[in-house]
Structure 1
Amino acid sequence: MSELVSIVVACALLGSGVGFLAGLLGIGGGLVIVPILSCILLYWQVLPTEQVVLVAIATSLASILFTSTSSAIAHHKNGNVPWDIAPWIMSGVALGALLSGFMAALLPEQIVRWVFAVSVVLIGLKMLFGGNADSSSSHRIPNKWLLSVYTMLTGGLSAMIGIGGGAVLVPLLTFFSIDMKKAIGCASACGIVIALFGSLGYISTGSTYLSLNDGFAGFVYIPALIGIICTSWFTAPLGARATHYLPVKTIKKIFSLLLFVMAANMLIN
């Protein structure tokens, strides 16, 4: 029992930082949750090593359902969710996330690690050196059906590596000349959809491997989920409010550095 309490407390501390970053960067927190939760699961030997990353990803997605909801509400109140295009983006990421949740469980654990690390490094480089999108950019928003196809791919990748989608969606949307703050707000709203449909896939496929009696709903580890969401729900709005006080360049630098650190950590552990 004391071991279980320790896991919940550790995840609550993780959740407090994740919530703030989710609100600040629109990332859902999965880039932080997956590598750190993997370390927590390995330290307490909660399950076989080969299933650790999948459980961390699935639990991350489930927690993002709550974190992104809190963050999206705050961004909506601040007028940072572009609802004229958000439904098309959300429908695309929903389909991609659902399919990915089933596919990721079929891949070897090491491949999932490398997909995570390579993806976030490329994302970080794009955010650091890709320049700022503005109203004078020649990259205009495509038609809504094509936009849904693009976001289906980003939703699939996001669910596969256990993130809310901001790390992929924010660069994509800013590429199409959408304001940085509105891109982050849209990513927060889309994180809800990615988390919901991605989690369904992981819960369905994981039910044949792990038991509810041991604290698992498919690949989702319930004690860790409780620890993360009990704090992240309250700190996400704080991060969302901080976007109004930090310049876009600073937000991008924070975003990029975070990605590099998390990618390195995933490969080392």
Structure 2
Amino acid sequence: MQIEYLPLYVLIGVLSGLLGGALGLGGGIVVVPALLLIFHLRGIEIEVMTQLAVATSLATIIVTSIGAVRAHHQRGNMRWPLVWQLAIGVSLGAFAGAFVADWLSGPRLARLFGAFAVLLSLQMMFSSLRAPPPDASERLPGAGGLSLAGAAIGLVSSMFGIGGGSLTVPFLNACRVRMQQAVAVSSACGLPIALAGCLGFVIAGWGDPALPAGSLGYVYLPAAVGIGIASYPMARVGAGLAHRLPASTLKRIFAALLFIIGLRLALG
């Protein structure tokens, strides 16, 4: 299982945890490109390489999202009724997203991830997210609308191995949900996205002879363990850094790097 790569997986976990905690980003946007590079150097089959990176990223989100949910709940920002209304949609969408990713060729999925990363980097650089006025009333859709929105968020998030925060927070912000609550609800939705997406990727990749030893379906366990162990505590460190460092500057620097990485993947 080439355990000698474990230090690299731990390093990825450190970086994804720090950036996730400091900037409020899901670690998947760091984990997937890094794993693609390592898997390419290892000579893993190109047809399964991207699905392997995406599924493994989702597995690490299971660990980190549990800690994030606990922290937000303790701070009193979690709106559980809203979480439950979104949870069914995001779960079904995430489960389906794994099979969509499996249906796509590895190179095409990598290009789509690159295009998504470019769009996300532009959104980060020119983000207009702001707190709604204190007297603004929420404009949440009904149960059906929330389920449809959740399904779309889950589908895209699962396909690209992210926790969904880059989609859920802007959606809730547009519905005039208070920002602290939007971030908290988004972190809670990351858990069903990761669980359902992982299950789908395990089923979709089961028995594929092109997968390396140590894989459970498309989830590569050595990488998932190494990244998960490091990212969980480092997310707390990153959250602390957010109060000491200029987060807006860090976000723009990361957005610029993400743009370059995404463009490289999108262009193949």
Query: Which range, TM-score by smaller chain?
Result: 0.7 to 0.9
Gaps of 5+ in 2: none
Amino acid at match of 2:88: S
Aligned equivalent of 1:198: 197
Aligned length: 266
For 2:140 and 2:244, locate their aligned partners in 1 and report how far apart those are by CA, in whole Å. Answer: 27
Q: Map 1:77-116; keep pairs closer than 5 Å.
A: 77-116=74-113
Amino acid at match of 1:5: I
Say whether 1:61 aligns with 2:58: yes
Amino acid at match of 1:70: G
Aligned equivalent of 1:172: 171
Aligned equivalent of 2:180: 181
The CA deviation string for residues 90-134 of structure 1, in whole angstroms up to 9 with x for no partner, is 222111001111221011122212221222322333343342333
For 1:251 and 1:171, locate their aligned partners in 2 and report how far apart those are by CA, in whole Å. Answer: 20
For 1:211 and 1:50, locate their aligned partners in 2 and report how far apart those are by CA, in whole Å. Answer: 8
Aligned equivalent of 2:67: 70
State the shift of 1:227 in Å: 0.9
State the shift of 1:254 in Å: 6.2
Aligned equivalent of 1:23: 21
Gaps of 5+ in 1: none
Of residues 33-42 and 167-176 in structure 1, the stretch that sits farther from structure 2 once superposed is 167-176
Please report the TM-score for the alignment, with normalisation by the length of structure 2: 0.87
Aligned equivalent of 2:32: 34
Amino acid at match of 2:96: L
RMSD: 2.7
Whether the aligned pair in 1 keeps the contact of 2:45 and 2:210 (CA below 8 Å) is no
Q: Percent identity between the aligned chains?
A: 37
For 2:246 and 2:86, locate their aligned partners in 1 and report how far apart those are by CA, in whole Å. Answer: 26
| Cα distance change of structure 1 residues 176 and 61 upon mapping to structure 2, 3 Å threshold | same
| Cα distance change of structure 1 residues 10 and 185 upon mapping to structure 2, 3 Å threshold | same
Aligned equivalent of 2:215: 216
1:128 to 116, 125, 128: 125
Whether the aligned pair in 2 keeps the contact of 1:32 and 1:262 (CA below 8 Å) is no
For 1:184 and 1:262, locate their aligned partners in 2 and report how far apart those are by CA, in whole Å. Answer: 26
User: Aligned to 2:110, what secondary structure does the other structure show?
Assistant: helix
Whether the aligned pair in 1 keeps the contact of 2:26 and 2:164 (CA below 8 Å) is yes
State the shift of 1:261 in Å: 4.2
Amino acid at match of 2:116: S
For 1:214 and 1:42, locate their aligned partners in 2 and report how far apart those are by CA, in whole Å. Answer: 16
For 1:65 and 1:159, locate their aligned partners in 2 and report how far apart those are by CA, in whole Å. Answer: 12
Aligned equivalent of 1:14: 12
State the shift of 1:214 in Å: 1.4
Amino acid at match of 1:71: A
